[in-house]
Amino acid sequence: MKCLICGRDAAGELCRHHVEAKEKLQAAYPRWVEAYGEMGWAEYLDNVKRNVQTGQWAKETAEFLQGD
């Protein structure tokens, strides 16, 4: 299979880079809510994408997750 985001070889729908980014995004969400207050998943992903410190794989994954 190929990664749905970047086209690299993948065991599932995402390559290892984007799987790791997805796992980290999901794990960080509760910490963001705790730190910044009530925040929906879509708003969180928007904030992640706009953050200059967010890496390319995380930004790409956030964009992909918003399309789900």
Q: For residue 68, is pLDDT > 90? A: no
Give the dihedral sign, CA 43/49/53/56. Answer: positive
- pLDDT, one tens digit per residue, over 30-61 is 999 999 999 999 999 999 999 999 999 999 99
pLDDT band at 66 (very low <50, low <70, confident <90, very high): very high
Tell me the one-letter amino acid at 55.
G
pTM of the model: 0.91
What is the residue whose two structure tokens read 């086209």?
A: 7
